[in-house]
Chain A
Amino acid sequence: MSFPILMKPLPLSLKDFNFIAEANKSNAPGGAASSKSVKQPPQKKDGPPVASSVAASERGVDRPVEKERKKDLPPPRMQFDDESRVGKAKRRSLLNQPEARNRVELFRHLPPHKNGSQLPYLESKFFELHEMHPSVYKVGLQYLTGDTSGGNARCIAMLQAFQEAIRDYSTPPEKTLNRDLTSKIGGFVSFLIECRPLSMSMGNAIRFLKSRIARLPLTLSESEAKAALCSDIDRFINEKIVLADKVILRHAATKIRDGDVLLTYGSSCVVEMILLYAHEIGKQFRVVVVDSRPMLEGQKLLRRLVAKGLSCTYTQLNAISYVMHEVTRVFLGASSIFSNGTVYSRVGTAPVAMVAHAFHVPVLVCCEAYKFHERVQLDSICFNELGDPDAVSKVPGRVDVNYLDNLTDKQKENLQLLNLKYDATPSDYISVIVTDYGMIPPTSVPVIVREYRKEYLLI
């Protein structure tokens, strides 16, 4: 019996999955066999097709099939200055995207920001989206409005929503659980991307989930499979985030001595945990919280720290040279760490690390290993996320400095507003990275990615 082996090279996109499903339907008598056979190619090339299908679903658009692809190269990300792809994306998108006026030229390749004004529109579409699970929808709305932010929080929210969706899932007739569920997850992911571009932690988590789905033994019944997946998700959250954070706390607390002045930037959940833990075990230290516009995340951290009784100094990013004279350690969080040691984190982290380096203050970056990524990045422009440009021009709470209200059209034509969300800190400013694998120098990140990828992603 010849199996209809699909010699389609990578990557397989969503459309390809649907196509395979339909092909199976048409070969009704050989249905079971052919479904098995079709399963072979995806399982053999397990790593790359999963990665690339993740990438494809991350983009949420059809990708033309590419002829050759090296296995180890991560697929390129969606570039938004490519007109044809953007057009297709727009047609499939759920959100109404107004034409962004005055986009900064340098960032034409990034998707424009979707602000909270989309919320009522999305809410009204709730009952029209039968493909969408309500908990995923809820998570998407939370991302859109900014209620859930921060790598760990977003990842956990997304995984828990997927858990709900998996529990409520039932395989339609004539389809296999693996492929159908994978395509459903892909649909969820593309919705989440429209609400807000994925963070690296979310990308890795999705990769993990898809690989678990693909690895499900065929002998399992549907309920067993679903239970296995839910417990896998729980295990991922528990081991890779919760326990990893505990290990990081232990390591980092050894680096805090009595009398230290610790500086932190913005609001990182891991750094906050470290400071509270060190305070609990009785170390005497002061904290300097550095904050910046437009998100002003440091204020939330400040409030929580002062409530627990830590003595804090609050300042904004420009004054960093003033406070750095008496700082002994700098603790920073990260959204992701790339294979060349570059730390990808909230915008403003790079100047903090740079000034600390100039004043010979050690910089410790605290990051769970599941956030590591095999990409490399040299600067903050090739890949970033754009925020709401109006947040730059408006200063909430200070009416005396709202100089940019009431601009004439001619003025608006020449003025562009740029609100970046992330930046890339070069590895030479980082002294050590504290992860659940221990305290490693930035040069060891590709080692962990290469050697421990299966382990740290539980693939």
Chain B
Amino acid sequence: MPDTQALVNDFLNKLKKRKIEGSQATAKQTAELLRSVISQTRVPYTNQAAALIQSVKAVGEGLIAANPVELAVGNVVRRVLHIIREEDLSLTTAAMAGLNLSAVSDDEDDVDGDNQPVLSAAAIAAASRSTLRPPSLQTLLEDVPDSAAVPHTSSSGGDSEGKSKSADKSSRSRKLKHDVIEAVNELIQDINTCHEQIAEQAVEHIHQNEVILTLGSSRTVLEFLCAAKEKKRSFRVFVAEGAPRYQGHLLAKELVTRGLQTTLITDSAIFAMISRVNMVIVGAHAVMANGGVIAPVGLNMVALAAQKHAVPFVVLAGSHKLCPLYPHHPEVLLNELRSPSELLDFGEFSDCLDFGSGIGAPLLHVVNPTFDYVPPKLVSLFITDTGGHNPSYIAEIYQLFVMSLRGEDMKFKSEIMKTNCIAGGNLVKS
């Protein structure tokens, strides 16, 4: 698959050089890339799901390693793997139902024993009920004893039905890929339309004569506010500029173009103004499994100020940002430091950057982190494309999701976390 490989390499380069801005764009491109990987993967007659999973995992690990801080990549990879398994399961159950075989495991199960659940009738029924939706507790409880007990009834049964099944399998193999690609297309569609779905909920939260505060620039927030404006709610927005990227200026320009009364303030004035603000609405970079938020730098300060003044702190996040990882030391491990030239002009400060003291260590360090961690207790509400949620509910969703994932799907995350721990501190006190 030379052209896929070229695509993958190209994408890897972009991720490493941080050329792709924003988790929505990253998620979309990751999904499209995986779709082409899947369509290019040659699947054997037997065990196609495993082959697909293998190829997706191989690419996925590389993508995640290229930019560990961009959690949307990992989220999409995990969801695609989940899709593959689910589609395979539903196809198998349909096939089983069609062939009228009750307690026979496929050949795939033999080879791939720990991967696939044993297909008891109850499990088939259960599995067919839950395809791409987050699994309910009931299905999980039914799945668990099945995967624990692994009776391979064996390849002995396989031979005689082998030939009759092979025809089915070949059609099934094409169908599996087809289904998976369709589901991935749906995923891409979801990623594309997450803004609209979130914006639809705007009118429930913004009423007349409100004052809203936001920091930096997020496309979700922009669409959200404009949707409320469309519904003829008149409100004012305070935009904090969000140094050192100053994306607040961009957002302010967009908002005034669409006719909203906007006031641009500096970040230092946030605490001063927040007593007159009704609601803080911000976007997020990623939402972690405990309900904590990885957000652009400065938002922890805003969240603390909002808590002090009892102002609701609302986070808008598309579902591709919801990450099943638990954050350990997120300020350091899930953060990136940007160039100091955004804060200090090198030309002006070149004399201070000499190695002054005897051991040769520079006297002046400049710290310019990209992200901030907001703990879940400071967030009042998450608005995602599936509706509004409490931070503790996000944690619950992810407990369920994590339980439904296979152990190996989570593995590359723990590897990443380990390498981050070893690489250790981008600590200030180096």
Contacts and interface: CB of A to CB of B under 8 A. Distances in A.
Interface of A: 104, 106, 261, 286, 288, 291-294, 299, 302-303, 306-307, 309-323, 325-326, 347-348, 350-351, 354-355, 358, 379-381, 384, 392-393, 395, 397-398, 401, 403-404, 407, 410-420, 423-424
Contact of B367 (A303, A306, A313, A416): A313
A418 B262 contact: no
Given A322-B331, A322-B367, A381-B276, A293 B263 contact: no
B268 A418 contact: no
Contacts of B343: 291, 314-316
Nearest to A413: B256
For the residues of B in contact with A, the DSSP-based class is: mixed
A307 B363 CA distance: 9
B266 A351 contact: no
Interface in B323-378: 331, 335, 342-345, 348-349, 352, 356-357, 361, 363-369, 372-373
Contacts of B357: 309, 311
Nearest to A306: B352
B379 to A, nearest CB: 15
Nearest to A412: B256
Given A326-B429, A416-B264, A423 B271 contact: yes
B335 A407 contact: no
Interface residues of B, number: 61
Given A354-B305, A414-B259, A312 B364 contact: yes
Contact of B269 (A313, A404, A418): A418
Given A415-B262, A416-B263, A322 B365 contact: no
A404 B253 contact: yes
B256 to A, nearest CB: 4
Contact of A313 (B265, B348, B428): B428
Nearest to A313: B365
Contact of B262 (A311, A351, A381, A416): A416
A319 B368 contact: yes
A412 B304 CA distance: 32
Contact of B272 (A311, A381, A410): A381
Contacts of A424: 272
A293 to B, nearest CB: 5
Contacts of B255: 414
Contacts of A323: 367, 428
Given A314-B343, A321-B331, A414-B261, A354 B367 contact: no
Contact of A316 (B243, B269, B331): B243
Given A313-B367, A326-B428, A417-B263, 4 more contacts: A311-B363, A318-B301, A417-B264, A419-B266
Contact of B344 (A299, A354, A358, A392): A299
A411 B256 contact: yes
A347 B304 contact: no
A306 B335 contact: no
Interface string B241-265: 1111110011011011101111111
B61 interface: no
Given A316-B243, A355-B301, A415-B262, A293 B268 contact: yes
A303 B349 contact: yes
B170 interface: no
A58 to B, nearest CB: 23
B288 interface: no
19 contacts: A261-B429, A293-B267, A302-B364, A306-B352, A306-B356, A307-B352, A313-B367, A314-B343, A318-B372, A319-B298, A319-B369, A347-B269, A350-B271, A392-B264, A398-B246, A415-B252, A418-B266, A418-B273, A419-B266
Contact of B276 (A106, A393, A398): A106
A171 B364 CA distance: 57
Contacts of B369: 319, 322
Q: A-B pairs with the 9 shortest C-beta distances?
A: A348-B268, A318-B298, A380-B272, A321-B300, A414-B256, A350-B271, A403-B249, A401-B246, A292-B268
Contacts of A316: 243-244, 267, 343, 368
B193 interface: no
B297 interface: yes
Interface in B266-316: 266-273, 275-276, 297-298, 300-301, 304-305, 308
B368 A315 contact: yes
Contacts of B427: 326
A358 B349 CA distance: 33
Contacts of B256: 407, 410-415
A411 B254 CA distance: 9
A392 B272 contact: no
Contacts of B267: 292-293, 316-318, 348
B305 A397 contact: no
Contacts of B301: 317-318, 320-321, 351, 354-355
B372 A322 contact: yes
B272 A318 contact: no
A329 to B, nearest CB: 15
A106 B275 CA distance: 12
A293 B265 CA distance: 10
A415 B243 contact: no
Contacts of A261: 429
Nearest to A419: B266
B344 A314 contact: yes
